[in-house]
Amino acid sequence: MQRIIVIDDEPYILLMLKKMLEKEGYEVDMATNGVEGIELYHRNGANLIITDIVMPEKEGLETIMNLKGENPDLKVIAISGGGRVDSREYLHSAKLLGAEKIFPKPFKKDEIVRAVKELLEE
């Protein structure tokens, strides 16, 4: 079974993505920031990371840099609702750091599912 780690500081986003992806047959771990997400990755591994950008402790851009530095082949989807700047700027930066797919919040559930399937079936 393929494992996905979802990293987001908004509990309802975490639960929504977890339920949605488990329904599709994926194993899903959740983390509320990049520090927890990286620890989960080291402990359990993952085939794909879905990470928010603006979070406490370790934000998503740094998380992407760290994980891609360790494993350049790891698939990453970045999501963002913005923060101090427009979410498109954060997402553009995430793309430059190696995120294969980027989605502004709010996103459509079927878009995320389609992106996950596409990345994990490559």
pTM: 0.94
Dmax of the chain from CA atoms?
38
DSSP state of 99: -
Domains and their CATH numbers in the chain = 3-115 (3.40.50.2300)
Paired with 102 in beta bridges are: 78
Mind listing the pLDDT tens digit for each residue in 48-98?
A: 999 999 988 889 999 999 999 999 999 999 999 865 556 678 899 999 999
Burial group, residue 28, by CB count within 10 angstroms (0-12, 13-18, 19+): buried
